[in-house]
Amino acid sequence: MISPRQDFNLKNHRAENRMYLQRATIAFFIVITLTFIIFCRVGYLQIIQHEKYSLLSRHNQIRAVPISPIRGVIYDRNGVILSKNTPGFNLTITPEQAGKLPELLAKLQNIISLSSEDIDNFYLRKKQTRAFHAIPLKHHLIEEEVAKLSLNLHLLPGADISASLNRYYPYHEAFAHVIGYVGRINESELKKINPKNYQATHFIGKVGIEKKYESDLHGKVGFLNIEVDSKGRKIRVLSQDNPVGGKNLHLTLDGRLQVFAHQLMSTHRGAVVALNPKTGEVLAMVSTPSFDPNLFVHGIPHAIYQELAQSKAKPLYNRVLRGQYPPASTIKPLYALAGLEQGFITPHTKIFDPGFFTLPNQNRQYRDWVRKGHGTVDLKKAITESCDVYFYTLANKMGIDRQSAWLDQFGYGHLTDLDLIGESAGINPSKTWKQNARKQIWFPGETISNGIGQGYLVATPIQMATSIAILANRGIRVQAHLLKKAADKPALHTEVVKLTHPENWDLIINGMAGVISDPKGTAYKSFKGVTYPIAGKTGTAQLIKIKQNEKYTENKLATHLRDHHLFVAFSPIDTPEIALAIVLENENGHTLIARKILDYYYLLKTGTIPVDQLAPPSEEIKTDAPV
């Protein structure tokens, strides 16, 4: 046993020295190897990759600042500006230069008024914007705000006041539904556009012409190449690639007629469409009530938007494109033409109207709008006086599928392809349509209602205008459009209705002329004394069912349940220049409005009203005779 007191020296100095030398040698070779690798890498970067990294280095010093293109101006057919750009000032922030954003925003809120929506929109755009790009916080600063900010900019790092061009609509409500408006680009829109071309643009067309022709109006972004320091501050301008402004658009609208029609309709709910049947040019397109598009340009306050969106009058609703109304008796001339062409009636076919019609083996009476009836009625009288029983009888002979196929040729149930977005197709019913849409069979009584433009049949005002234009053109359809075309690119003309007996056109149009000129015509009182030739047709669309022995009493019904009143017309008769469609919701007075619009149109033709006089009071317009 070894005594614990014994002291042994267990170290082997020779072995330790050998191990140290081995480790030092390995470490030396590792260092040499790593140094060699580093030198190789440096040589590779400095010599072989010199050009690449030299360029990247310069990019660290040079920044491309996008320059927004000037948006195109929109004019009417006479060169009057309908949508333009006005100078203004915006408050912008470059986050990378701002330090602590919440602190900066708090300082700004103490200087000018900033809403929670302003701040929310700023943070949203921050996510969508590249580094070192200025982001707008508030648009359209007033003079007082510009002054306050200018005095405090030295205390607000990253904040700046920038000049810009803001969209402005000088005629406010009058053109809102056709011109539309621009608004801030949202996330869904950002995914659809070219992000590079919109780097300096914060607005995009939302509805109307502004949206339809966005690519033309926007233009091409430019770039300013600047040298910056390590903190991103501009040192000097190196070069500039100028933006390309958007195209200016000239529309077919006559601003004078548009504003005048809007004034007439401003206290009503409804729509007016006027177009040239020969060219397809839309002369006026009014939907009322309307709204001021300027409210939307810089972000409409939530409370105001809710008020517009929830209004029972639906001011945001484009009735011309989307309003679906029973065409009522305005459809009768088309059915009369079908009856002649298909041999169900002749010009001399007569029926006796006792005030009602009954289907064979049925007791239900389909009443005429004249309770005692029209007596003995032929084709001309049926159109002029709008005899329901005559067209009940014709509809029963034709059947629903023939009616549907005939209206199909005049565009019912189809989009007109007007150059605006959001159009509805309406409904041109048939047996197949009802089976597919309602999973029900078609009933004979529905054919009778369809024969006077009621029941399932609905159409938009633009469809009614284009269909009456086809009638005015004797079967030729001209594509309706709002963008004025070059002389060498006329609108497309297509023969959509070809008659075996072309003289039938004149028979129908003669009956429509009687609506205006015959003392018993349904529009005679409003057009009494008119000096220009016009063919027209009135219509009354019933919204509620009236029982067999019940009388329609308008003043006992809630306003929204009262009849719609419609009117279609064209003039002159032989060489039509204007086709008109009017819908007045839940009230009468449609023919009186039509008379004033047509009188004003003919007054414009004389050249007595300057092209830039867009707002003459309606009471100053003289007509050929009292209305």
Residue type present at position 313: A
**What is d(CA 281, CA 273) in angstroms, rounded to the nearest whole number?**
11
Residue 148: which residues within 8 A CB-CB, separation 6 or more?
111, 112
CA dist 560 → 255, 449, 500, 555 (Å): 31, 21, 44, 12
Q: Are strands 74-75 and 249-250 parallel, antiparallel or unpaired?
A: parallel
Listed in sequence order, the DSSP H helices in 285-430 are: 294-297, 302-310, 319-322, 332-341, 379-384, 388-398, 400-409
| 22 three-class SS | helix
Query: Which residues fall within 8 angstroms of residue 513, CB to CB, at 6 or more apart?
Result: 533, 534, 535, 573
Question: Looking at 164, 287, 329, 404, which residue is catalytic?
Answer: 329
Q: What share of the chain is helix, strand, coil (3-state, %, to 5)?
A: 40, 20, 40
Gyration radius (Cα) of the chain, Å? 37
Is 115 noted as a catalytic residue in this protein?
A: no
- Helix 332-341 with 388-398: angle, nearest 10 deg: 50
How far apart, in Å, are the Cα atoms of 112 and each of 102, 153, 256, 268, 590? 15, 12, 41, 40, 50
Contact 394, 326 (CB under 8 A): no
Per DSSP, the three-state class of 287 is strand
Q: Are 537 and 329 in contact (CB under 8 A)?
A: yes
Closest listed residue to residue 567, CA positions, set 319, 327, 320: 327
Q: Among all residues, which ones are annotated catalytic?
A: 329
